[in-house]
Structure 1
Amino acid sequence: MRTIKGPALFLAQFADDNPPFNSLDSIAKWASGLGYKGVQIPSWDSRLFDLERAASDQGYCEEIKALLAHHGLELTELSTHLQGQLVAVHPAYDEMFDGFAPREVHNNPQARQAWAVRQMMLAAKASKNLGLTAHVTFSGALLWPYIYPWPQRPQGLVEAGFEELAKRWMPILDAFDAAGVDVCYEIHPGEDLHDGATFERFLSAVNNHPRANILYDPSHFVLQQLDYLAFIDRYHERIKMFHVKDAEFNPSAQQGVYGGYQSWVERAGRFRSLGDGQVNFSQIFSKLSQYDFDGWAVVEWECCMKHPEAGAAEGAKFVEQHIIPVTDKAFDDFADADVDEQTNQQILGLS
């Protein structure tokens, strides 16, 4: 077994135009002061990172790592959540998702998708240049409008959707394979990869590609009422990344999983700061340690109530308390009897 690394912090929810959140240097200093040992960087945020430069300039990558090291931090992974989302967009969401891309590709779904694919290819090169082994993204979604089958889905619609999704992702997966980096899809509502069944469909469609893997975030499974502990048992070989995020689900006579179009505060299922929700993190850290997960425990702060800076400060301590320093010896080694094969035969009555 190997000890999980951390605590680390995903910077996407904290990046801002105001200091200390408006540059990588100042936000790294802030995160380090809270006790974090690593940061996960959103590759789309130019205030913190230049993806195109990182893909072609090894010197720039060394500067990024040196800057973080100056504050006692490591770079855990890059994120392309926004760009990955745009690899596959159903036309119903075109207008809303245009905001994830530069203005020159707005109102042009084909150009927007081409931009997104290029971004993913840059992310593969940048990850390699930075010495990373895993990368987080979203799968995008062609089928999400048909998640609840009314009217009934036409025969073959789901198969056709996953066939197209795989066609779009295969060249990207191959590029990450060439870079030696795992693509870790965050299994998330709104994506075609939103639970175990859909991940398995996708995995089959990409011929069990070795780089098609999972970012495990239990909060999204609580909101779907999925068994998030059994998920680790079933998919641990593909879990290469871990977001530590809490959630709660409190159904009522008025609403359940779908939420009744309520605001986050009013929803039955809502994200909470670490320790304020219902996720059993003691069991999660135990299971991940049992299955030899040696990646980073990355806090992704999202909460409908608590201030983000309070959540970040509490999150570092929370993760540190849950990481299990794994043992290199059996607890009952003191009772070990030094015997040989002949003795074992005698104990079994075979000699």
Structure 2
Amino acid sequence: MKTIKGPGIFLAQFAGDAAPFNSLESIAEWAAGLGYKGIQIPSWDARLFNLDLAAQSQTYCDEITGMLADKGLAITELSTHLQGQLVAVHPAFDAQFNGFAPPEVHGNPAARQEWAVTQVKNAAVASRRLGLAAHATFSGALAWPYFYPWPARPAGLVEDAFAELAKRWKPILDVFEDNGVDAAYEIHPGEDLHDGVTFERFLEAVGNHPRANILYDPSHFVLQCLDYLQFIDIYKERIKCFHVKDAEFRPNGRSGVYGGYQGWVDRPGRFRSLGDGQIDFGAIFSKMAANDFAGWAVLEWECALKHPEVGATEGAPFIDRHIIKVTEHAFDDFAASGADRALNRRLMGIAE
């Protein structure tokens, strides 16, 4: 068995224009001071990271890993959540998603997609240069507007959507294969890969590609009323990244899973800081340890109520408490009597 690495922290929700959140070095010092051992880097944030340069320059990557090592930190993964989203965008969301891309491709879906594909491929190369085993991303979505079928979906729409999604992602996954890095899709509402069934559809469409894997975040399953512990049992071989994020689901007589278009504070399902929600992290970390999960436990903070810096301060010790240092021997080894096949046969009454 392996001991999970951590605690780590995803920097996306903390990066900003004010110190110490406006440069990789200063935000790294802040994270290390809170007790984090790893950082997951949002590759789209130029204040923290230059993805294109990282894909081209081993020197740049070595400088970053060296600077972080001096602070007692490692990179857990790079993230292309925003760029991955743009690999597949339904036209209904074109205007909203323009902000995820540079101005020169706004209003041009084909150019925006080409930029996004290049970005995710660059992330595969940069991850290899940084010595990383996995990468965090989104799948994008073509079928999401039709997830609740009214009016009824035209026959074949879902199949065609996943065929197109696979067509776009297969060449990207091949680049990840060439670089020895797993692409871990966060299974997330709003993406075509939003539960186990949709992940399986995609996996089949890309020919069970070995680099098509999962970023496991139980908070999104709580809000869908999906069994987040059984999910681990089913997909343990494909889980390569782990976001530690809490959530709660409090249905009432006026609103349920879909949230009634309400803000996050008023929705029945909402994200919380670690320990403030309903998720059984003791059971999750136990399953991860039993399954030899070799990656990082990474805080993603998105609480509807608590201040982010308080959530970050509480997050490191919370994760550290839940990481199980796995045993190297069985608890009853002291009573072992050694192997004796003849004795075994006598004990079972089997004649020689």
For residue 346 of structure 1, report the CA deviation from its aligned partner: 1.9
For residue 109 of structure 1, report the CA deviation from its aligned partner: 0.3
Partner-residue secondary structure (3-state), 1:265: coil
Distance in 2 separating the partners of 1:285 and 1:258? 29
Query: Residue in 1 aligned with 2:239?
Result: 239
Query: Residue in 2 aligned with 1:33?
Result: 33
1:159-174 mapped onto 2 (5 Å cutoff): 159-174=159-174
Query: Residue in 1 aligned with 2:10?
Result: 10
Distance in 1 separating the partners of 2:248 and 2:304? 11
Q: Percent identity?
A: 70
For residue 208 of structure 1, report the CA deviation from its aligned partner: 0.3
Distance in 2 separating the partners of 1:167 and 1:203? 12
Query: Residue in 2 aligned with 1:253?
Result: 253
Partner-residue secondary structure (3-state), 1:270: strand
Q: Deviations over 1:170-226 (max 9, x none)?
A: 000000000000000000000000000000000000000000000000000000000
For residue 27 of structure 1, report the CA deviation from its aligned partner: 0.4
Partner-residue secondary structure (3-state), 1:240: strand
1:48-197 mapped onto 2 (5 Å cutoff): 48-197=48-197
Distance in 1 separating the partners of 2:218 and 2:148? 22
Query: Residue in 1 aligned with 2:291?
Result: 291
Q: Deviations over 1:284-326 (max 9, x none)?
A: 0001111111210000011011000000010000000000000
For residue 336 of structure 1, report the CA deviation from its aligned partner: 1.1
Distance in 2 separating the partners of 1:212 and 1:167? 13
Query: Residue in 1 aligned with 2:219?
Result: 219
1:268-287 mapped onto 2 (5 Å cutoff): 268-287=268-287
Q: Deviations over 1:71-127 (max 9, x none)?
A: 100011000000000000000000000000000000000000000001011111101
Q: Which amino acid is 1:264 matched to?
A: W
Distance in 2 separating the partners of 1:62 and 1:334? 46
Q: Which amino acid is 2:223 matched to?
A: L
Q: Which amino acid is 1:262 matched to?
A: Q
- Cα 1:339–1:87, aligned 2, differ >3 Å: closer, same or farther? closer
Distance in 1 separating the partners of 2:142 and 2:232? 26
Alignment coverage as a number of residue pairs: 351
Distance in 1 separating the partners of 2:30 and 2:72? 11
Distance in 2 separating the partners of 1:345 and 1:144? 61
Q: Which amino acid is 2:50 matched to?
A: D
Query: Residue in 2 aligned with 1:333?
Result: 333
Query: Residue in 1 aligned with 2:47?
Result: 47
Query: Residue in 1 aligned with 2:199?
Result: 199
Q: Which amino acid is 2:251 matched to?
A: P
For residue 339 of structure 1, report the CA deviation from its aligned partner: 3.8
Distance in 2 separating the partners of 1:338 and 1:240? 37
Contiguous gaps of at least 5 residues in structure 2: none
The answer to whether residue 309 in structure 2 is matched with residue 315 in structure 1 is no
Partner-residue secondary structure (3-state), 2:226: coil
Partner-residue secondary structure (3-state), 2:287: helix
Distance in 1 separating the partners of 2:218 and 2:301? 13
Q: Which amino acid is 2:145 matched to?
A: P
Partner-residue secondary structure (3-state), 1:7: strand
Distance in 2 separating the partners of 1:168 and 1:204? 14
Distance in 2 separating the partners of 1:123 and 1:32? 24
Distance in 1 separating the partners of 2:260 and 2:222? 17
Distance in 2 separating the partners of 1:14 and 1:25? 14
Q: Deviations over 1:128-163 (max 9, x none)?
A: 111111000000000000010000001000000000
Moved over 6 A (4+): none
TM-score, normalised to structure 2, is 0.99
Q: Which amino acid is 2:125 matched to?
A: K
Distance in 2 separating the partners of 1:184 and 1:21? 26
Contiguous gaps of at least 5 residues in structure 1: none
Partner-residue secondary structure (3-state), 1:264: coil
For residue 349 of structure 1, report the CA deviation from its aligned partner: 2.0
Query: Residue in 1 aligned with 2:264?
Result: 264
Query: Residue in 2 aligned with 1:302?
Result: 302
Query: Residue in 2 aligned with 1:347?
Result: 347
TM-score, normalised to structure 1, is 0.99
Q: Deviations over 1:34-53 (max 9, x none)?
A: 00000000000000000000
For residue 338 of structure 1, report the CA deviation from its aligned partner: 2.3
For residue 337 of structure 1, report the CA deviation from its aligned partner: 1.2
For residue 235 of structure 1, report the CA deviation from its aligned partner: 0.4
Distance in 1 separating the partners of 2:29 and 2:106? 36
For residue 254 of structure 1, report the CA deviation from its aligned partner: 0.6
Q: Deviations over 1:13-49 (max 9, x none)?
A: 0000000000011000000000000000000000000
